[in-house]
Amino acid sequence: MQNSYVIQNPFGIHARPARKIVEAAKASKESVTLVKDGKSFNAKSLVHVISVGAKFGDSITVNADGEQAEDVIAAIGAILTAVEQHAEKEQ
Amino acid sequence: MLSKLFGKTKSKTIEILAPLSGEVLALTAVPDEAFAGKHMGDGIAIEPSEGKIVAPFDGTVAHLIHTNHAIIVEHNSGLQLLIHIGINTVALNGNGFRAHVSSGDSFQAGDILIEFDRAVIEAAGCPSITPIVIANEDEVKQLEHIVSSGSVTAGAEAVLRAEMNE
């Protein structure tokens, strides 16, 4: 199954949110991928997730299989749509 | 992986040179829970004494973050290292950072990867302490901390030794 989300963090998916995505993806034993502009990235690899280069306003599709797919997709979706606190106090 | 059992009988050990000059500190000294709690991976932190990141080994740029404040470098053994200059520096949106490489580039140990301006980082209220962590811990069997305190010179001495899975 899959679901799409739009990045809400003004700083996109940089190192810290990327690590949270990897942790959420590792809750599943099955493959979890992020898709942006037709390119697929392994959500369990920090380098892959950072390499997505997701910026504010980008649409990302999360794909997952298995019994926990729904929970894993929702957990990653929450990270993709989260806004970091330190982002709010800038500017 | 079954295929990995064949053809590789000895484990690969990589010495990681200090990617910047400064004072070596434990990750727990980093004022960011993600790094301090080792959630980003095991490694060390360096409080920079100069604004220059050099390659810690021969390898390639696995990914340069578009704002140039962090880079993931990869050794040919597969070891991936994340070097994150300062804390909350993503907010600077590239201001104060100048990359000398792009994603996919090859480099030799000691080559300059990124130059940065500590004054710009500190003026924005960001700590300039720089965590250096293993980005793919799953593939690392053991990480040894060669240096855990005191000052180091960029490219001159090994700070970490990683033994890869066989």
Query: Looking at the partner chain, which of B34, B39, B65 has a beta carbon nearest the beta carbon of A50?
Result: B65
Q: Of B137, B39, B113, nearest to A16 (Cα)? A: B39
A21-35 confidence digits (pLDDT tens): 999 999 999 999 999
Q: Do B67 and A23 touch (CB under 8 A)?
A: no
What pLDDT score does B123 carry? 96
C-beta separation of B133 from B160 below 8 A: no
Count structural domains, chain A.
Answer: 1
- Mutation target vs A (from B90, B103, B138; most A CBs, 10 A cutoff): B90
Is the pLDDT at A10 greater than 80? The verdict is yes
**Mean pLDDT value of segment A43-68:** 94
C-beta separation of B134 from B41 below 8 A: yes
A1 touches B: beta carbon within 8 Å? no
Which CATH number describes the domain made up of B13-142?
A: 2.70.70.10
Task: Name the residue ranges covered by the structural domains of chain B.
Answer: 13-142
* Owning domain of residue A44: 2-89
**Mean pLDDT value of segment A50-68:** 94
- From CA B100, how far away is CA B111, in angstroms rounded? 9
Supply the CATH number for residue A29's domain. Answer: 3.30.1340.10
Please identify every stretch of chain B with a pLDDT value under 70, giving residue numbers as ranges: 1-11
Q: Of B129, B123, B147, B142, nearest to B56 (Cα)? A: B147
B21 touches A: beta carbon within 8 Å? no
What pLDDT score does A5 carry? 98
C-beta separation of B32 from B70 below 8 A: no
What pLDDT score does B152 carry? 98
Is the pLDDT at A74 greater than 60? The verdict is yes
Q: Identify the band that residue A87 occupies on the pLDDT scale cut at 50, 70 and 90.
A: very low
